[in-house]
Amino acid sequence: MKRWLSAGFIFLFINSVYALPAEGKIQFTLAKILKGDSCPQILKNIPVIVDYHYNFERNMGQAHLRRIKSLDWSETLYPLGLSNYYAFMSDMKPKLIQLDDNEVTVYRIIFHLYKNNQAKLFMMIGEQGNCIMESAPEPVEGFA
């Protein structure tokens, strides 16, 4: 009996160590090109801000892209229902945005929230999403 009780406490402790905050805001840097030769150079190393609100008990929530470089933008990212991590994706038509003096078409935005308090952002760029850019992993911090 003590063995089962100890195992239960250890399980709860391990899960609480990696507990994600229910709300968070993350600043990413698009650092890597995963696919495509025609990725716009203006997107290389630009800051992108995403926030999320998630009810882990009900397994429901949303994320929002809030800013790309100096452009304020509110694009909703919807949950995908994957089992190993929390994933969110935009449901939008390709959108032409203006960054400095450049026009960029954003095809899709994908946000991954991992159970080890890390997150990543992927952006598909171009009319057909031929360019895929990825952020470096970033730590997740809750809203202050």
Give the C-alpha separation, 130 to 143, whole Å: 34
pLDDT of residue 115: 85
Beta pairing class for 102-113 and 95-99: antiparallel
Contact call for residues 19 and 48 (beta carbons, < 8 A): no
Sign of CA dihedral 17, 20, 23, 28: positive
Question: What are the pLDDT tens digits along the chain (144 aa)?
Answer: 566 555 444 444 444 444 778 888 999 999 899 998 888 888 999 999 999 999 888 888 999 999 999 899 999 999 997 778 899 999 999 999 999 889 999 999 999 998 888 999 999 999 999 999 999 888 887 654
pLDDT of residue 142: 66
Give me the helices (H) in 18-125, please: none
Give the C-alpha separation, 77 to 64, whole Å: 5
